[in-house]
Structure 1
Amino acid sequence: MRLDVTDNPVISGMSRIFDMMCLNVLWLVCSLPIFTIGASTTAMYTVMLKVVKNEEGYIVKGFFKAFKENFKKSTIIWLILLVIGGFLGADLYLTSSAKGSVGMALRAIFAALELLVLAVGIYAFALTARYENSIRGTIRNALTLTLARFPSSILMVAIMIALIGISIWNLQLITFALPFWALFGVSIIFWINSKLLRRIFAGIEDHTEEEVEE
């Protein structure tokens, strides 16, 4: 399947919607074993970073190629982040019953660290999709970008949490949200993130080229 660029905006729009649906389903299916979420996320960013610049080729082929090529590295990064996030989640749960200002401060710290891990994960898988680097280097760069591009980091995390929070607000919304997430929800988040990440990466690459020229 290939996104065909045509002069007809209706056909182009329908083609884009279909590809977004396809990517959404691919990510969900390939993430079902749980431990493959990292590889699936990297594959999604590999394709979506091209989609936002209209550079995409064959969607399904590109997804599975990236899934296979980055499986080991992405899985290790995912497991590292999962363990760290799990420990922070456990700490947050254990301090949920703590009273007073100390308990509130601890919960705020653990919640902030949990969000930090989420932001680092966004950058880590996107970096894996776009650049060659070691696992340690990728995580280090992801942390650096999270802090250096803090407004964008907050925005990506906030959008994700807001969409999920609205979806589970009540039973009526959950009923509506299920088909939304099954068809579009995941791909929309990746599309928004990829728009922001593409600008960040472009700025880094332009800066690097200027240093090389000097």
Structure 2
Amino acid sequence: MGDHKYKVFSFLEKAVDFLFLSFIWAIMCVPIITIFPSTAAMFGVVRTWQLQKGEAGVFITFFKLFKENFKQSFGLSLIWSLVGLSLYLNFQIVSLTGSVVEMVIFIVSVLLSIIFILITIYVFPMMVHVKAKWHELVRNSFFLVVASPYSTMIIGVVTIGTVYFLLDNPAGLFFITSILAYFISYWFLKAISKLQIN
């Protein structure tokens, strides 16, 4: 009976941690410029859970990692915003009137956008797992996209499903984001351990 109560308590404690982490992340993303640092910190927290490192609470760990990764993640957010904007403008320019050239440009743009999104998903767990310069993080993330198609496919499908859910249920930002981060981090660590990126 005592063991059962302990398991229930552990489950509730972990559920509260997930809720609290999602809530902190959502609040810290209100200033748009802190979205990347906040997301890196969230992935850092779930990584400590999975690797069983550190005994500090969610709040302390989050802001410690937020501070540690702020400079790099903020710099990357500026570069990433420009890349994302250029891809978006490229779609706006291509009118698809039927010309072969425009069709080729459109297909290339779609492929680049998919790769861009997948790299974006991987770059956050990569940032808190590997100490490297931003371009090395992007390179390693791209390598992971190509070298781990199974993990990438699973992460991509679940992420898309979560995004669709959040579009209909925006309040989910306050509880589901940390669960998604945990899921992505799990498959990231699984893939990276096989490839031995460090």
Larger deviation: 22-31 or 106-115? 106-115
Q: How many corresponding residue pairs?
A: 193
Q: Which structure 2 residues correspond to residues 31-110 of structure 1 after superposition, within 5 A? A: 31-55=29-53, 57=55, 58-95=57-94, 97-100=95-98, 102=100, 103-110=102-109
Q: Which residue of 2 aligns with 1:186?
A: 177
Q: What is the distance in 2 between the residues matched to 1:201 and 1:67?
A: 23
Counterpart residue identity of residue 128, structure 1: M
Q: Which residue of 1 aligns with 2:186?
A: 195
CA-atom RMSD in angstroms:
2.3
- Could you say if the C-alpha distance between residues 7 and 52 of structure 1 is closer, same or farther in structure 2, counting changes exceeding 3 Å? farther
- Could you say if the C-alpha distance between residues 89 and 155 of structure 1 is closer, same or farther in structure 2, counting changes exceeding 3 Å? farther
- With structure 2 as the length reference, what TM-score do the two structures score? 0.86
Q: Which residue of 1 aligns with 2:8?
A: 10
- With structure 1 as the length reference, what TM-score do the two structures score? 0.80
Q: Which residue of 2 aligns with 1:21?
A: 19
Counterpart residue identity of residue 199, structure 1: K
Q: What is the distance in 1 between the residues matched to 2:161 and 2:182?
A: 16
CA shift, 1:50, in A, is 2.1
Conserved in 2, the CA contact under 8 Å of 1:81 and 1:117? no
CA shift, 1:167, in A, is 4.0
Segments of structure 2 that go 5 or more residues without pairing to the other structure are: none
Counterpart residue identity of residue 162, structure 2: L
CA shift, 1:128, in A, is 1.4
Conserved in 2, the CA contact under 8 Å of 1:47 and 1:56? no
Segments of structure 1 that go 5 or more residues without pairing to the other structure are: 1-5, 169-173, 209-214
CA shift, 1:14, in A, is 0.8
Identity score, percent: 24
Conserved in 1, the CA contact under 8 Å of 2:166 and 2:172? no
